[in-house]
Structure 1
Amino acid sequence: MKVFQEGGVPLLDWRENLEFDGRGTLWVAHLTKNRVEGYAPDGTLRTSFPVPGPGGIRRGADGMMYVDFGVNPLARDGGIMRFDPAAARPRAERFVNGISGVNGLAVDADGNFYLSRELATGIVKIRPDGTKDEEWTRKADVFGTNGLEVVGDQLYASVITSTASPVVRIPLKDPAHHTTVTELSPNPLKIKLLDDLTSFDGDLVVASFRDGELIRVDPATGRSCVLANGLRMPSSVRVARAFGDHDPRRDLFVVEASGRIVKVTVG
């Protein structure tokens, strides 16, 4: 484990989410400073710009970057903003608003967006044109989702509010038939507070905010193991993608509520 970017005061310097744009920049949602930051492979801060309460951040099917905003229980508005990662001076513009309590974000191959809500039932689906798919959302009636990741025709979600710490599978074409892949906290007193998750080498890697762990889960069997520990309130994990000499087969990047960005090399 190697620190890519140092943090500040824990919880007051909260970096919430991250994503690689495939063009050599790591984009980070800095929650407490209300901004998105762009980093070079050597750790240099290339740019930053304001986004109110940024959360889940993902590369869209169109090459644009999308980021949740209003990730704050007191926020009056929330939704998705977007920006061009290739712009000399990126600037976020509103894409969808009027969705409160949002947190995680995922995008499928057709350009549909999925937003998690920690204190509500139903994963919100937004079509590429920005309209809401209300029927899909009603059928995806999972309460308390946080991290989201699309793998093929399945959407995987971590649930932060359940004492069982489950990971759930939601078929994109049949969301009512969602199933539990695994429960990572058999003891309800040891809830892991699952945060974001990513796909890695055929498995899922989930961040445990409470325990400071990355947990590897086999989506076919539900078997799990601790991939890394000793992190400080990890909130998101992503595989390095077209990011200098960082190896996507081995290198995972993690952001924490401590403010740090950490590189974890597997194997």
Structure 2
Amino acid sequence: MGWNAVWHGGVRRRGRGMAALAALGVLGAGVLVPAAPAGAAPRCGPPAAGGPVQVAHVPDWTESIAVDRRGRMFATAYFSGRVYRIDAPGAAPVALTGDIGANGGIVVREDGKLLVGTGNDLAHSLTGDLLPVSKLLEVDPETGAVGVYASGLGGIDGVALAPDGTVYTTTLGGTGIGRVTPDGRVDPAWARVPRPNGIAVSPDGAEVYVVQTTLAPGVYRISVGDPGHPRRWASATGTDAAGLPDGLTLDGRGRPLIATHAAGEVWRVEDGALCAVAAGPELRLSTQLVYGRGGEGFSAGRLYRAGVDGGIYEVPDGAEDAAGG
């Protein structure tokens, strides 16, 4: 998940690429990133039969996706700022909200309510460390009613939910990892990682995993008990260093899976190293990954990818029962 805002022909456009902020190592708009050489990361295991299959399409840049217990998918749309609901593979997306500035991450709470990040744009992201003013919104998945869950965070890109209800956020243009406790306490700089992007919490809630997208791409582990000392866990080396890792999710064994922009691959962290779970042109410019839930719709055990093209793809190689999974 990333951002940038540029003016082109009098129209404000937000997107990714390597335009205005290349010097900062941040993704820009209006320029498609050249693909890194395919197959740079070793395969995690033999590929499953068949490649990625498109199962839905959001009419916008799809920044983040999440699935609830009923197998319904929810997506944030970067340009329009809307939240969409997709009831099942093949179903048409329904705009659950109007423009609420929903251009960041999205997660589903245990009570079914959605938490959505805002401020994932040039101004809020670059100033987020010094002026944390962005909001985490609460959205009703049935009615689309919107409220403010927390404020005072840096421009929110990634959002992750811990088992105890604590929420963690990233600010791509800065270093701050935000934290919101269940009782409402907000710390916009609970920890610091350079260019933080995708984020997830270990199944036991003891560690927070964060993707660094540029400068020295890789994955960090942050101990909840020692947030002042993030530990680098895996690094993208060789041609993978140009892969532009983005969104992050965990499989059923708690292993991080990472969407990439330029590599056209889904990476997994195994024993402190990166390997490729899946690869293909459909996986270029990916923004986020999520596993399904429940027995219907976007069901448990299946891996789904969202991207700049608005396409939602099922990725068979990432399925929980796939070879090497």
TM-score range, shorter chain: 0.7 to 0.9
List 4+ stretches of structure 1 deviating above 3 A.
74-77
3-state secondary structure, aligned to 1:49? coil
Q: Deviations over 1:113-157 (max 9, x none)?
A: 1110112122011122332136xx35x221211000001211101
SS in structure 1 opposite 2:122? coil
Match of 1:120 among 174, 178, 200: 174
The residue that corresponds to 2:242 in the other structure is 191
1:110 aligns with 2:164: yes
Equivalent AA in structure 2 for residue 48 of structure 1:
L
Q: What root-mean-square deviation, in Å, do the aligned CA atoms of Structure 1 and Structure 2 show?
A: 2.1
> Quick one: which amino acid aligns to residue 127 of structure 1?
T
1:238 aligns with 2:238: no
Distance in 2, matches of 1:95 and 1:126, equals 9
Identity between Structure 1 and Structure 2 (%): 26
Whether the 8 Å CA contact 2:175–2:193 is kept in 1: the answer is yes
The answer to whether the 8 Å contact 1:232/1:258 transfers is: no
Inter-partner Cα distance in structure 2 for 1:166 and 1:43: 34
Distance 2:149 2:299 in 1: 33
- Counterpart of 1:83 (choices 122, 139, 164) is 139
* Residues in 2 aligned to 1:24 and 1:33: alpha-carbon distance in whole angstroms: 24
Q: Deviations over 1:205-252 (max 9, x none)?
A: 10111222111112xx21321111221300000011126165533x11
Look up the match of 1:154.
207
User: Pick from 255, 259, 262: which aligns with 2:310?
Assistant: 259
| Cα distance change of structure 1 residues 246 and 36 upon mapping to structure 2, 3 Å threshold | closer
Superposition deviation, residue 48 in structure 1: 2.1
Task: Using the TM superposition, give the Cα deviation of residue 259 of structure 1 relative to its aligned residue in structure 2, in angstroms.
Answer: 1.4
Provide the residue aligned with 1:227 in structure 2. 277
Distance in 2 of aligned mates of 1:37 and 1:187: 35
Number of equivalences: 253
Cα distance in 2 for residues equivalent to 1:186 and 1:205: 19
Letter of the structure 2 residue corresponding to residue 108 of structure 1: A
Alignment match, 1:3: 54
Residues 152, 186 of structure 2: 8 Å contact kept: no
Rounded to whole Å, the distance in 1 between the matches of 2:268 and 2:150 is: 33
1:74 maps onto 2:128 in alignment: no
CA gap 1:246/1:94 in 2 versus in 1, 3 angstroms: closer
Taking the TM superposition and a 5 Å limit, the aligned residue runs for 1:27-42 are 27-42=74-89
Give the Cα–Cα distance (whole angstroms) in 2 for the partners of residues 72 and 2 of structure 1: 30
DSSP 3-state at the match of 1:54: coil
Structure 2 Cα separation of the partners of residues 6 and 28 of structure 1: 10
- Does residue 166 of structure 1 match 2:218? yes
With normalisation by structure 1, the TM-score equals 0.87
The alpha-carbon deviation at position 108 of structure 1 amounts to 0.9
Q: How far 1:187 sits from its partner (Å)?
A: 5.2
Q: 1:168-215: per-residue Cα shift (whole Å, max 9, x none)?
A: 001112112321111013458x42211111111322110111222111
* Secondary structure class of the residue paired with 1:102: coil
Distance 1:121 1:14 in 2: 24
Asked whether the equivalents of residues 78 and 103 of structure 2 are also in contact (C-alpha less than 8 Å), the reply is yes
Gapped regions of structure 1 (runs ≥ 5): none
* Deviation sequence 1:21-73 (CA, Å, 0-9, x none): 11231000111121000001133224421221421101124432101012111
Partner of 1:49: 97
> Mean Cα displacement is larger for which, 45-54 or 226-235?
45-54
